[in-house]
Amino acid sequence: MVPEVFEHHLRFLKQNGYSVVPAIEFLKRTLPNPFSSVVLTFDDGCENFYTEAFPRLLRYGFTATVFIVTDWIGKKGYLSWQQLRELQNGGMTIGSHTCSHPHLPDLDPSQIRREIEVSKKNLEEGLHHPVSLFCYPFGGFNAPAIEFVRSAGYQLAFTTNRSLPNFPQAPFSIRRIRMGNTTHSIHLWAKCSGYYNLFRSPRPAH
Ligand SMILES: [Zn+2]
């Protein structure tokens, strides 16, 4: 996404009174305004998150989660450990997007487990901070992947696939909506409304 379009999206959220909440807030089922609350996530840990998105998010007072592929840290075009620490200190959440970005359902269970567990451990050691969010590369997951995500100690996992039911019934297969350069205001409105279903409203605590 080009920076100008991203800026437009941030302005839209601000002007329309959306609350940008940390992803982990969705574990709390008592968000004050679930239909006007959004979670922003960014996959792959590209360096332009640091150079383009981070300063704009700070300017708007918004927070976001960045999902990192640990084998790519410090490679050309990707975030370095130092940048990750700065993002964390600046209020961003760092999550895992595996070690090597495979389509997990193509792997055998021991490889799936390694991608999920080792990436978490590497990030936690490098950032001295618990990592509780996971994102499936290409949105791909299966039953073993969900089970390894759960047993590794993650609290939420994100996909792009349609999965039913959605949050809070399925915290390890949360759907997301892709924002692109062609996503203009009317589409933004639809995408941010509960009807397009960025996230279903959390149910009241029972
Ligand atoms: Zn990815």
The answer to the question of residue 199 being in a domain is: no
How remote is the CA of residue 103 from the centroid of ligand 1, in Å?
10
Distance from residue 38's CA to the centre of ligand 1 (Å): 20
Residue 31 resides in a domain:
no
**Is there a domain that residue 178 lies in?**
yes
- pLDDT computed for residue 42 by the predictor: 94
206 domain residue, yes or no: no
Structural domain including 61 reads: 3-26+38-192
Neighbours of ion ligand 1 (CB under 5 A): 43-44, 137
Query: What's the structural domain count of the chain?
Result: 1
Residue 69 lies in a domain: yes
pLDDT at site 140? 93
CA of 205 to the centre of ligand 1 (A): 33
Distance (Å) from CA 30 to ligand 1 centroid: 30
Distance of CA 115 from the midpoint of ligand 1 (Å): 13
User: Is 204 a member of any domain?
Assistant: no
Give the domain CATH number at 156. Answer: 3.20.20.370
Q: 137 CA to middle of ligand 1, Å?
A: 5
Q: Does 200 map to a domain? A: no
Q: 76: which 2 tokens?
A: 């050309």
Q: Ligand 1 centre from 48 Cα, in Å?
A: 15
| Residue 198 Cα to ligand 1 middle (Å) | 18
In percent, the amount of the chain with pLDDT more than 90 equals 62
Q: Using 50, 70 and 90 to split pLDDT, how confident is the model at 33?
A: confident
Ligand 1 centroid to Cα of residue 68, in Å, is: 8
Of 43-52, 54-63, 138-147, 182-191, the poorest mean pLDDT is in 182-191
- pLDDT tens for 118-166 read 999 999 999 999 999 999 999 999 999 999 999 999 999 999 865 555 6
pLDDT attached to residue 160: 80
Centre of ligand 1 to C-alpha 101, Å, is 6
CA of 78 to the centre of ligand 1 (A): 12
68 within a domain of the structure (yes/no): yes
* Residue 198 pLDDT grade (very low, low, confident, very high; cuts 50, 70, 90): very low
